[in-house]
Amino acid sequence: HNVGALVVVKPGEQKSAAGIITERDYLRKIIVQGRSSKSTKVGDIMTEENQLITASPDTKVLRAMQLMIDKRIRHIPVIDDKGMIGMVSIGDVVRAVVSEHREELNRLNALYKEVTR
């Protein structure tokens, strides 16, 4: 389904993250190690809750991007005081930054046209 990461939830707690499993986890811990997908449990290969990098809804886009770059990750679960509310990918962050820069460029171009009339 073209999904790069899944948040693993605690049993019976759909909004409480127990960890995350990514394509990279699968490649490194299943394929490279020659393990069986059928017999390996998600809990054995996921990044656990205590190592999980998260963001809040108030986290700025550039901060999320910096976390992704620094930690070499491509997905960050978004968590508020009630639990997990979503996930942000590097693609989401890049699109937001590009959109913001495009808007700024359009504003500057409009200003330039005004000034040079």
The CATH number corresponding to 1-52 among 3.40.50.300, 3.40.50.1100, 3.30.300.30, 3.10.580.10 equals: 3.10.580.10
Which fold does the domain 53-116 belong to in CATH? CBS-domain (3.10.580)
Query: For the segment 7-18, what is each residue's pLDDT rounded down to a tens digit?
Result: 999 888 877 889
Q: Which residue has the tokens 């049993």?
A: 11
State phi, psi for 105 to the nearest 5 degrees. -60, -40
pTM score, whole prediction: 0.79
- ∠ CA 67-101-92, rounded to 5°: 45
Mean pLDDT in the chain?
92
The predicted pLDDT at position 10 comes to 86
Model confidence over 54-67: pLDDT tens digits? 999 999 999 999 99
Sign of torsion over alpha carbons 48, 78, 87, 97 = negative
| CA distances in angstroms from 49 to 4, 9, 14, 16, 18, listed in the order given | 18, 10, 14, 10, 5
Residues of the chain with pLDDT under 70: none
